[in-house]
Copies of this chain bind each other. A is one copy, B any other.
Amino acid sequence: MSLIITNNLPRPEPQALASTVEALAARFGNRLITSQAVREQHAHTTTWLPAQPPDAVVMAQETSDIQDVVRICAKYGVPVIAFGTGTSLEGQVNAPAGGICIDLRDMNRILEVHTEDLDCVIQPGVTRKALNEHLRDQGLFFPIDPGADASLGGMASTRASGTNAVRYGTMRDNVLALKVVRGDGKIITTGTRAKKSSAGYDLTHLFVGAEGTLGIISELTIKLRGIPETIAAAACSFETVRGACQATILAIQTGIPVARIELLNAAQVKACNSYSKLSLPETPLLLLEFHGSEIEVAEQSKNFKEIAAECGGGEFTWTTKPEDRTKLWQARHDAYWSVKALRPGAGVVATDVCVPISRLADCVTETEEDLKRLNLLSPIVGHVGDGNFHCSLLCDVDDAEEMARGEDFMHRLVERAQSMGGTCTGEHGIGQGKQKYLEAELGTEALDAMRALKKALDPQNIFNPGKILPAV
């Protein structure tokens, strides 16, 4: 087992590649870029997977640009990789077989906002912060928040979610329809603006999470929500992870519509105390957010407070004042930087798994024991309402022995989650890094089906080859 993904994918013939670049240059002029710096920038991944730059980058501005890049690449059998902001975590934007990267950041127009229907139509390069900035005056927001200011096209492609998913769902639940450029450059429309439909196969949700391997998303229709009248933040420490998980389970069972419920394990709280000069008890911490009317959030907070007390929770703090909310959530906002500061210079390897919530306490506790046994440092943050948690493993990437322990840890983490009825990734995707776990999770028949779908929609294998599906 190795984290180094070779894939051994055949690269295109040099002549085919040269012809492709020539045709692209003729069509795109200086929007075709072949400089090493730009190519390397587009292979940037936030994992420890080695960067694999594309052969060239095209800066797309219009849907017709995507269509023409795809047509030219298809003509010569050259791979084509979509790029949003490069914040994916499992090597999704790497180019293991070379090829052409389509950078979609300039396709960032918000085309339509339908306030009465709570939806909007956007280009794939719109980022979630830009979108929410645009929507704020209209009293609307897009709820999916994966942390990074990712592009919506990328978020759809990796089926992203994040802290709000417990209430608002993931990208899967918030994409109404897509336009997708297929191999011959024509465009597939997957749905309408109707809130629900039973009209044929669910193409929309086949492309959501396909990581650009079945076509390139050129337009999205997504659901919006009204900005809640009142937002309350709350925090409560627990003696054990089990207590925090039990409180979460009860809150969800009794139907408290928590908007966010985040677990920080003791190691993460300790890191935050040190980095953000806080004085939180260094035990597992739950941070919550409630959305609703003033009366509703007060009721939700009160109900959760009772549950927390039942489950061995300590002092329960809550507030609706924006500045106090920010302070209360300080630890969560600084989580990433606090981890970095624990061991300056070390790499942070982010990975995630997701288990049925009844197994979350077991999974986190066993993971903590494993870290101790392997002498590794990795604070844990969890979207605990979904049973999804993240490890931020600190490793000296130049220390082969430590990296081997890190690999061992990650492998055991995935096996643990899967043995508990969970998945190898709740929200980061498969990319390159987790291909080796897919068969153990779903079986050969599911992989056969996925391969058949890939072949049906991308018979030339030009769309982001070497991702999701392990080489046969």
Contacts and interface: CB of A to CB of B under 8 A. Distances in A.
A456 interface: yes
A30 interface: no
Interface string A408-430: 00000000011001111111111
Nearest to A429: B198
9 contacts: A160-B198, A161-B196, A169-B173, A182-B445, A192-B441, A195-B386, A196-B354, A226-B252, A257-B257
A225 B254 CA distance: 9
Interface string A183-198: 0001111111111111
A245 to B, nearest CB: 9
A9 interface: no
Given A255-B226, A257-B257, A296-B299, A421 B192 contact: yes
A434 interface: yes
Contact-residue bracket for chain A: 35 or more
Contacts of A339: none
Interface in A443-460: 443, 445-446, 448-450, 452-457
Interface stretch (A68-76, A202-210, A326-334, A369-377): A202-210
A424 B199 contact: yes
Copies in the complex: 2
A191 B424 CA distance: 11
A441 B158 CA distance: 27
B255 A198 contact: no
A89 B254 CA distance: 35
Contacts of A197: 159, 354, 423, 425-426
A38 interface: no
A255 B291 contact: yes
Contact of A356 (B114, B158, B441, B469): B114
Contacts of A425: 197-199
A322 interface: no
Contacts of A379: none
Interface stretch (A11-19, A78-86, A116-124, A393-401): A116-124
A45 interface: no
Contacts of A296: 296, 299
B201 A453 contact: yes
Instruction: Tell which of A192, A388, A452 has the most Cβ of chain B within 10 Å.
Output: A192
Contact of A430 (B189, B198, B255): B198
